[in-house]
């Protein structure tokens, strides 16, 4: 590795990895630190959960990805805090000294302080959560074959997704298609009328960040796929066999996927810095932590502003911020100063499944098959490696042509 000021990047997600790559030619030593040894392409995690993709197709080892970066290395560790005075990142393996620090530890599910929501639902932010959801879906179908009680079987075959944002909509659509196209052929005698996929949203519409016409197009598409869309419905409690709604109604279900809330990782709290909404770290326009000019925050952890509004917790924001911070550090090493961050919105999109998606790009709105083709293209291009792109494309083509998903495995890891 080249010698020079050490840039420690906490987190190997989209923001952290982009920052490391943008420092490739800078006269610095880059050190990535993450509790996972892989980079996860989170937009396709729901496809692992719905048995379409294998984990290795959306996750690649960090050390492999940074191999072309001659000034970069990686350490596997859980980050526990920051010693700003001593310029050390604190980890469960000991402190890591830095000259410049980039905090990019991402986000986590937010259960709004409810123990029952956290205990009895599955998040969809981490790779192990995606595998756990897949295991539970398939296990409930297996268990349903062992009962003659119609009430018990109805509970086992009811799947609830809470949260009508892109992740919830995409998970609901993928799960419905897994059941209708694949599992109904696997399970002889399955009465599909006993199977329910329920999408629950507290707001009066799904996909709140999209234009009203696209929200409505998405809702119609979900319902055409047999998904029960419950709007203006708040979840108050969850048990291992039911979900409780505001007003006292209950839905018997053995699986609840929680996509209704997100907040920044706990690093901001552990570091003792000033926080803003969703536990995000308050930053200057340059993405520096106030009072700590050599510490930057990017991605979902950063409470960056665009005028009066907070920037969304989206991958393009993280990647653009990573490049911007890399440029600022390069200039500071050369006795320059940090630049203010300006986000350029590339648009947003979500798929509801086969031949159906919505996209909102620079004032243009697309839905249906055209939106789906745009969604496929954008996501395929952004998958992290060429090998992964090829395998993902093959799996997508196989599923599209033969209505089959080969990753229908119940796998429980042991250590």
Q: Are 239 and 116 in contact (CB under 8 A)?
A: yes
Could you tell me how far CA 64 lies from the centroid of its own chain?
A: 22
Contacts of 154 (CB under 8 A, 6+ apart): 194, 196, 252
Of these residues, 29, 170, 177, 201, which one is catalytic? 170
Helix (H/G/I), strand (E/B), else coil: 360:
strand
Residue in this structure with the two tokens 């500071």, named with its chain if needed: 332
Whether 29 is a known active-site residue: answer: no
Q: Token pair for residue 105?
A: 């530890």
Could you tell me how far CA 130 lies from the centroid of its own chain?
A: 10
Give me the sign of the Cα torsion angle 305, 309, 313, 314: negative
Could you tell me how far CA 144 lies from the centroid of its own chain?
A: 30
* Burial classification of residue 203, based on how many CB atoms lie within 10 Å of its CB (0-12 exposed, 13-18 middle, 19 or more buried): middle
Q: Are 57 and 32 in contact (CB under 8 A)?
A: no
Q: Token pair for residue 196?
A: 């329910």
Backbone angles phi, psi at 385, to 5 degrees: -140, 160
| Active-site annotation, residues | 170
């Amino acid at each position: 590795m080249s010698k020079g000021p050490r840039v420690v990047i906490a987190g190997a997600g989209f923001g952290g990895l982009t920052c490391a790559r943008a420092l490739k030619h800078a006269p610095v030593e880059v050190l990535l630190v993450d509790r996972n040894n892989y980079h996860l392409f989170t937009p396709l995690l729901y496809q692992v959960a719905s048995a379409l993709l294998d984990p290795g197709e959306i996750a690649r080892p960090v050390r492999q990805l940074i191999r072309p970066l001659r000034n970069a290395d990686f350490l596997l560790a859980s980050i526990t805090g920051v010693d700003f005075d001593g310029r050390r990142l604190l980890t469960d393996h000991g402190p890591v000294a830095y000259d410049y620090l980039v905090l990019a530890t991402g986000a986590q599910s937010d259960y709004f302080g409810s123990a029952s929501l956290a205990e009895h639902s599955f998040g969809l932010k981490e790779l192990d959560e995606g595998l756990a959801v897949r295991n539970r879906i398939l296990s409930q179908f297996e268990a349903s074959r062992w009962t003659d009680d119609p009430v018990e079987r109805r509970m086992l075959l009811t799947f609830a997704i809470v949260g009508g944002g892109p992740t919830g909509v995409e998970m609901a659509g993928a799960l419905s298609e897994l059941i209708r196209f694949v599992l109904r052929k696997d399970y002889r005698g399955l009465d599909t009328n006993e199977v329910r996929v329920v999408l629950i949203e507290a707001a009066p519409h799904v996909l709140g960040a999209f234009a009203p016409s696209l929200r409505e197009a998405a809702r119609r598409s979900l319902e055409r796929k047999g998904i029960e869309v419950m709007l203006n419905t708040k979840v108050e409690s969850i048990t291992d066999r039911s979900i409780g709604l505001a007003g006292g109604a209950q839905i018997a279900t053995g699986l609840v996927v929680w996509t209704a809330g997100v907040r920044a990782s706990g690093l901001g709290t552990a570091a003792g810095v000033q926080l803003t909404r969703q536990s995000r770290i308050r930053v200057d326009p340059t993405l520096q932590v106030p009072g700590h000019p050599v510490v930057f925050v990017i991605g979902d952890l950063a409470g960056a502003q665009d005028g009066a509004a907070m920037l969304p917790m989206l991958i393009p924001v993280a990647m653009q911020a990573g490049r911007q911070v890399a440029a600022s550090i390069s200039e500071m090493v050369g006795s320059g100063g940090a630049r203010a961050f300006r986000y350029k919105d590339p648009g947003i999109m979500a798929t509801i499944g086969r031949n159906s998606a919505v996209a909102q790009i620079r004032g243009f709105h697309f839905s249906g098959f055209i939106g789906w083709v745009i969604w496929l293209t954008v996501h395929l291009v952004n998958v992290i490696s060429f090998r992964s792109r090829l395998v993902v494309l093959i799996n997508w083509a196989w599923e599209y042509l033969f209505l089959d998903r080969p990753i229908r495995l119940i796998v429980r890891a042991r250590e």
